[in-house]
Amino acid sequence: MEYDKDKVDEMVLALLYLTMFDEDQYGARAWKSHDWDAMDRLHEKGYISDPKSKAKSVVMTEEGAKRAKELFEKHFMKGERSARQR
């Protein structure tokens, strides 16, 4: 099956925003229970720390957390805000 990996990466990044926690000056963490290939690509793009670790979460980079929020709002928010962004 062929599919658009960039679109998958966008959705995974948006869903990581949904599970972000412990946001502080060092970044935020998110649960890493998503497709491993997509997680590897997000790491290569600089959005998250290396998902290949014993930790059950990844560190979101500042850029990754910002982009995750943008994508989450674009694809999943209801109401005026999501309509304006289309």
DSSP string, 27-65: EEEEE--S-HHHHHHHHHTTSB--S-SSSSEEEEPHHHH
Q: Which CATH architecture has domain 5-79?
A: Orthogonal Bundle (1.10)
Closest by alpha carbon to 74, among 84, 64, 65?
84
pTM of the predicted model over 0.85: no
Q: Assign residue 74 a region: left if phi > 0, alpha if psi is -120 to 50, beta otherwise?
A: alpha
pLDDT digits (tens, 9 = 90+) for 45-67: 999 999 999 999 999 999 999 99
What residues pair up with 57 in beta bridges, in sequence order?
31
| Cα 16 from Cα 64, distance rounded (Å) | 9
| Domain definitions of the chain by residue range | 5-79
| Cα 83 from Cα 53, distance rounded (Å) | 38
| Cα 62 from Cα 19, distance rounded (Å) | 16
pLDDT digits (tens, 9 = 90+) for 10-21: 999 999 999 888
